[in-house]
Amino acid sequence: MNANDCHPSALWKPEVIQAICRALHAVPGDISQVSPLKQGMTNRSYLFSCRGGRYILRVPGEGTGRLISRRQEAAVYRTVQGRDLCEDVLCMDPDTGYKLTRFIPGARTCDPLNPDDTAACMAKLRAFHRLGLRVDHEFNLFDRIDFYESLWEGRPSAYPDYRETKAAVLALKPFIDANAGERALTHIDAVPDNFLFFPDGQGGQALRLIDWEYAAMQDPHVDVAMFCIYAMYSRERIDRLIGQYFTGGCPALTRVKIYCYVAVCGLLWSNWCEYKRSLGVEFGSYCLEQYRYARDYCAIVRQELEKLGEELPCTQ
């Protein structure tokens, strides 16, 4: 064991170690070379070896139990497994959220500034959306905005114009409702870090979309907006990515709808960040940029609709 390795009993509860052993037909002494991977925004992950194989254990982060239904996540994985879409999940505890997956050697995440990478990711996303998969739960963007705000427990927003920005975001709902397409299983967290490229064993590369914990029924075009705001794209880059998803051209009102999702999802993740901040978890400039998407893209939507001779429907 090198200086970076940790003993599993120092990191994981005994029942977690037992679950790993059951899944891998091993005993605790078979687990070795445990090392933390880069901490994600929602979870912590550990790489370890066991009986000649390498695996990743996902451990839910602070406050995650209030944000995510692990039973719904398990239902999503049952839906997408075996379709060349997701990581190879060996076991998942729907009560605790611990998830065991097989390590993929040579894997790398998408480079959001590499147009070849982003084109491949949008092709993968488009193919997934066209499957029209279904689950029994939805991800309601506006309900989640309110829910994440409720987790502040009366603390005011860090942004002095929050109420005005939220009102502008809520005013987008009638337009979204009028222009949203048919709902299907949507990843929700389809960000560059969740697209994994890896060797396919035949001289090419394969691509998988991982971490489906937020996935639910929604307008699939939400995934395009989510990719953009996590990558902190400029409007020019957002339009370029829209073009890669809609290879035959994107209708004007659909583009405006995606701009609406940029604003709505920006506020959603800004509220999420404000909750995580209350737990002592900071994400630096990401938080402010999400809020800026909410504020700035409300104005962009109005400008674009004016050019098209349209206006936002009345909220009453």
Per DSSP, the three-state class of 89 is strand
Listed residues 48, 74, 102: the one ending a domain:
102
Does 312 reside within a domain? no
Give the range of the structural domain holding residue 173, as residue numbers without chain letter. Answer: 108-307
| Residues near 206 by beta carbon (within 8 Å), at least 6 away in sequence | 84, 197, 198, 199, 200
For residue 10, CA distances in Å to 15, 210, 244 come to 13, 27, 46
User: Do 141 and 198 fall into the same domain?
Assistant: yes
User: Do 215 and 91 fall into the same domain?
Assistant: no
Condensed to tens digits (0 to 9), the pLDDT of residues 221-266 reads 999 999 999 999 999 999 999 999 999 999 999 999 999 999 999 9
Tokens of 189: 């967290």
- Identify the pLDDT of residue 258: 98
Q: Give the whole-number percent of the chain exceeding pLDDT 90.
A: 75
- The one-letter code for the residue type at 147 is F
Does 213 reside within a domain? yes
Mean pLDDT of 271-285: 87
More confident residue, 221 or 316: 221
Contact yes or no for 77/214 (Cβ under 8 A): no
Condensed to tens digits (0 to 9), the pLDDT of residues 66-111 reads 778 889 999 999 999 999 999 999 989 888 888 999 999 999 999 9
- Identify the pLDDT of residue 117: 98
User: Do 112 and 261 fall into the same domain?
Assistant: yes
User: Do 258 and 119 fall into the same domain?
Assistant: yes
Tokens of 41: 């925004």
Tally of domains in the chain: 2
Helix (H) or strand (E) holding 94: none
Condensed to tens digits (0 to 9), the pLDDT of residues 154-209 reads 999 999 999 999 999 999 999 999 999 899 999 999 999 999 999 988 888 999 99
What's the chain's length in residues?
316
- Identify the pLDDT of residue 38: 64
Does 294 reside within a domain? yes
User: Do 229 and 282 fall into the same domain?
Assistant: yes
In this structure, what DSSP letter does residue 113 have?
T
Does 94 reside within a domain? yes
User: Do 116 and 247 fall into the same domain?
Assistant: yes
d(CA 24, CA 47) in angstroms, rounded, equals 15
152: closest CA among 265, 283, 278?
278
Secondary structure (DSSP) of 15-63: HHHHHHHHHHT--GGGEEEEEE----SSEEEEEEEETTEEEEEEEE-TT
- Considering only 19-23, 144-148, 254-258, 279-283, which range has the smallest mean pLDDT? 279-283
Does 315 reside within a domain? no
User: Do 96 and 56 fall into the same domain?
Assistant: yes
278: closest CA among 139, 141, 144, 150?
150
Global confidence as pTM: 0.90
Across the strands, what pairs with 6?
A: 34
User: Do 133 and 59 fall into the same domain?
Assistant: no
Burial classification of residue 85, based on how many CB atoms lie within 10 Å of its CB (0-12 exposed, 13-18 middle, 19 or more buried): buried
Q: Is the pLDDT of residue 291 over 70?
A: yes
Listed residues 81, 102, 123: the one ending a domain:
102
Listed residues 83, 102, 121: the one ending a domain:
102
Q: Is the pLDDT of residue 7 over 80?
A: no
Q: What CATH number corresponds to the domain at position 66?
A: 3.30.200.20
Q: Which residue has the tokens 């949203």?
A: 180
Contact yes or no for 170/142 (Cβ under 8 A): yes
Contact yes or no for 221/256 (Cβ under 8 A): no
- Identify the pLDDT of residue 66: 72
Contact yes or no for 109/195 (Cβ under 8 A): yes
123 phi/psi in degrees, rounded to 5: -65, -40
Q: What CATH number corresponds to the domain at position 138?
A: 3.90.1200.10
Helix (H) or strand (E) holding 224: helix 222-230
User: Do 134 and 268 fall into the same domain?
Assistant: yes
How high does pLDDT run on average in the chain? 91
Per DSSP, the three-state class of 295 is helix
User: Do 112 and 95 fall into the same domain?
Assistant: no
- Identify the pLDDT of residue 3: 38
Q: Is the pLDDT of residue 48 over 80?
A: yes
Q: Is the pLDDT of residue 43 over 90?
A: no
More confident residue, 171 or 40: 171
d(CA 112, CA 94) in angstroms, rounded, equals 32
For residue 66, CA distances in Å to 96, 147, 186 come to 12, 10, 21
- Identify the pLDDT of residue 62: 61
Does 314 reside within a domain? no
User: Do 74 and 139 fall into the same domain?
Assistant: no
Tokens of 309: 């001779």
Does 275 reside within a domain? yes
- Identify the pLDDT of residue 2: 42
Pairing, β 195-199 against β 108-109: antiparallel
Does 2 reside within a domain? no
- Identify the pLDDT of residue 278: 83
- Identify the pLDDT of residue 1: 39
User: Do 246 and 293 fall into the same domain?
Assistant: yes
